[in-house]
Amino acid sequence: MHVHTVNSGDSKIRIEDIHQKINEGIVDCVVVTEHNLFENEGRYPIFYGEEIKTTKGDIIAMGISEQIQPYLSPEETLDLIHEQGGIGIAPHPFYPFLKKGLDELVKKLPIDAIEVFNSRNTKKADRKALELALARNLPATAGSDAHRKSEIGNAYVIVDYNVQSIDDLIKLIKKGKTAPVIKKRSGIYSISRFL
């Protein structure tokens, strides 16, 4: 979950690169979340969402059918996501650089899940996101936030169920049936080893 391609404008990843990583067994499927761009839901093994820049930070939309305009308030953005039957995920909420995270606002927004592991984030920021997800009893996700081919699979979720559509994945997220994992230089961490 949370991969960018050249269509995001700041990534070097091509769709062929994603297929190569899938064929190598690095990941089973990928959710591409372009910056402020959504084309379609895709099909297994590549699904699509949208990483939307709001006035206060980014929100990932999954399960939408139409692109959502950037630079609205987080509340307006989430309303539009929910109107389309999708879910809103707070990616890297406490990211310490570039003001990309929702920061303290994420504590009261009607988000559906929190990205607790982001491979571009600091361990401290990830820990804070994880603690918030646990405190709010919200589902936890992970994303590599990949902008280069080598980053695909640096953070991911494990599911025990067969995922063949974006709807399958959303159902598992909503039920909290995703196990976030992140690779760091010191090893591979799941939630239980991270706290």
Q: What is the tens place of the pLDDT at every residue in 28-86?
A: 999 999 999 998 989 999 999 999 999 999 999 999 999 999 999 999 999 999 999 99
H-state helical runs in the chain = 15-23, 74-83, 123-136, 166-174, 191-194
Q: Is the pLDDT of residue 166 over 60?
A: yes
Residue 184: its pLDDT value, please? 73
| Per-residue pLDDT tens over the stretch 5-16 | 999 999 999 999
Residue 194: its pLDDT value, please? 46
For the segment 173-187, the average pLDDT, to the nearest whole number, is 86
For the segment 147-171, the average pLDDT, to the nearest whole number, is 94
Q: Model's pTM, two decimal places?
A: 0.93
**Please, which pLDDT band fits residue 185 given cuts at 50, 70 and 90?**
low
% of the chain exceeding 70 in pLDDT: 94
**22-29, long-range: CB within 8 Å, 24+ apart, which pairs?**
22/46, 26/152, 26/153, 27/152, 27/153, 27/156, 28/163, 29/163
Ordered by where they begin, the domains of the chain are: 6-194 (3.20.20.140)
Q: Is the pLDDT of residue 161 over 50?
A: yes
Residue 87: its pLDDT value, please? 98
Residue 189: its pLDDT value, please? 66
Average per-residue pLDDT in the chain?
93
